[in-house]
Amino acid sequence: MEPIDPSKAYRLLESGPIVLVTTAQDGKPNVMTMGFHMVMRHSPPLIGCVIGAWDHSHKALVATRECVIAIPGADLARKVVDIGNCSGDDADKFARFRLTAQPAREVAAPLIGECLANIECRIVDDSLAGKYDLFILEPVAISLNRTRRERRTLHHNGDGTFCVDGRVIDLRERMILWKQFQVAL
């Protein structure tokens, strides 16, 4: 085993898929790229997200307490990186990246028409936002887009390189303690 710096843990653990986060403040929609997220609980469903204080999205999320987590397919890879390399402070990213903002059901932040899925979320706990930029979100609605031809998602290695979904290994018959989670999307 070769030792590496503990600060590199995210390079090994940063889970996918890379996602886009939309917000809308004062009627202005915005979108950012996010890799630092994790599912935390099944019921009620909870998702932890790190959205840095330097991001326009952070201010919009704090002000509105809601957002949409959109899952892009691999066909959007270049846009995903570019969206995470500019700020809504300076640009209308929906126009710049030709994204289709669609009305959400439960929140003011828009869905992204080009994404595979859109998860509408509300903040349930921001007690660690000041310390770690960590927001605990509860999904309140999900919309799936089954029309996209590209179904593979992107998984960030933390350095601008990405893995693309590969072969599915089906081990459901061994999930003897967790049969309740074997439900189709």
Under the rule (CB under 6 A), what is the footprint of ligand FMN? 18, 30, 32-36, 50-52, 55-57, 81, 84-89, 156
Phi, psi (rounded to 5 degrees) for 91: -145, 150
**Which H or E run contains 51?**
none
Closer residue to ligand FMN in complex, CB, 111/129: 129
Q: Least Å distance between CB 100 and ligand FMN?
A: 18
Q: Which residues pair with 153 in a beta bridge?
A: 73
Closer residue to ligand FMN in complex, CB, 50/141: 50
Q: Least Å distance between CB 159 and ligand FMN?
A: 9
Q: Least Å distance between CB 117 and ligand FMN?
A: 18
Closer residue to ligand FMN in complex, CB, 33/153: 33
CB within 8 Å of 140: residues ≥ 6 apart: 106, 107, 120, 121, 122
Closer residue to ligand FMN in complex, CB, 52/172: 52
Alpha helices in 1-160 (DSSP H): 9-13, 56-64, 77-83, 93-96, 129-132
Closer residue to ligand FMN in complex, CB, 51/71: 51
CB within 8 Å of 79: residues ≥ 6 apart: 72, 97, 99
Residue whose Cβ sits closest to ligand FMN: 84
**Cα angle value 155/159/163 (rounded, 5°):** 25
Q: Least Å distance between CB 111 and ligand FMN?
A: 17
Q: Least Å distance between CB 26 and ligand FMN?
A: 14
